[in-house]
Homo-oligomer: A and B are copies of this chain.
Amino acid sequence: MRIPFVSPARCRIAILGFGTVGSAVARRLTDPHSPHALQLTHVVDRRAGEKSRMLPASSRVRWTTEIDEVLTADVDVVVETVGGVEPAANWVRSALVAGKSVVTANKQVVARHGAALLALAERQGRQLRFEAAVGGAMPIVRTVGDGLAGDRITRIAAILNGTTNAVLSRMEATGCPLDDAVADARARGYAEADPTLDLDGADAAAKLSVLCALAFGLRVDPDAIPTRSTATIVPADFDRARLTGGTIRQLAHAEFDYTASTLTAWVAPAVVPRGSVFSRTTGAQNAAVISGEYSGDITIAGAGAGGDATAVAILSDVLAIARDRAAIVPAPVLTSDFTLQTSDFRLAEAV
């Protein structure tokens, strides 16, 4: 982290959830490179007792199992890394009501409650930031919501699930069946015990819903996005893809026709051409091609998973809040007045 752009004002931070991501953030905040202004003061975890040994005693962090303790404490920013919709959404809401800014890595909370929570944050004069919810360290939330705000984005095609991508690129490289590739991903720490939400597309659909809000201003229920599971892909599918000069990746795709107010969105295993950015995306990497009416295609790629990479996105958000605690972040006004096209759902030969 670079100190130059950090305001010297003290910023007290609480982390909710001490799993892979939460502990990576805690390690960064307690290491000597961390700007002095950023102080980790609280960790909330239901196994606070046994986990408290995982940080040096010198860090003087208060460990607790009670979110309420953070809500009433002198804390500026709450970092939510709990995952799942509840109680995480309720904790984010409570933190904003208590006057804290919030940084979350939780795509489900942002996809389902983001607009309401952002409106709450604006009313409270606080910030809700969520770069880590989509694309790990790849700063796609800023790119779509801020860096390309001056364009009219028409299309997003992306690899948004690192686990599934690690499985598919392993199958491609070794010819092994899906179960073996899943076991390999698990051994490398890329996959949970149950990777169903990854393979079936629900994880990528939640992230795509967040991107549709940022890119097109649309309120898209993640459950309404058609998905086709990657779990049924077999080695023979790769052989067929190879014959047409391609390979297979789980793609998340969204395209908005502004004239017809029609959104085409899906998550599915798709044949991607060899040499395309998607075929070259292997392991737990993520990649996205964002098409704008005026800027053409912008490509972005990087580590899509892992504690350290996700912690970069979280800490960048914390630094943005620390820089300007009184920043006004207007909540988006999303529209539901569009047609979600589901008939066109297919295994597209994406670029």
Contact = CB atoms under 8 A, between A and B. Distances in A.
Contacts of A145: 5
A292 B303 CA distance: 11
A131 B328 CA distance: 21
Interface in A138-155: 138-139, 142-143, 145-153
Interface string A51-90: 0000000000000000000000000000000000000000
A215 B4 CA distance: 10
A137 B309 contact: no
Which residue, A139, A143, A323, has most C-beta atoms of chain B within 10 A? Answer: A139
A302 B296 contact: yes
A20 interface: no
Interface stretch (A193-201, A221-229, A313-321): A313-321
Interface residues of A, number: 63
A96 interface: no
Interface in A295-333: 295-303, 308-309, 311-320, 323-324, 326-330, 332-333
A5 B149 contact: yes
A149 B319 contact: yes
A2 B309 CA distance: 29
A233 interface: no
Which residue, A294, A316, A317, A329, has most C-beta atoms of chain B within 10 A? Answer: A294
Minimum-distance CB pairs A-B, first 7: A150-B315, A139-B147, A137-B295, A150-B316, A298-B302, A4-B332, A299-B301
14 contacts: A2-B215, A4-B334, A7-B328, A137-B148, A137-B151, A143-B300, A147-B313, A150-B313, A150-B314, A150-B317, A151-B312, A294-B308, A298-B301, A323-B330
Given A146-B320, A294-B311, A296-B303, 7 more contacts: A1-B150, A6-B330, A142-B143, A143-B147, A147-B313, A295-B309, A296-B309
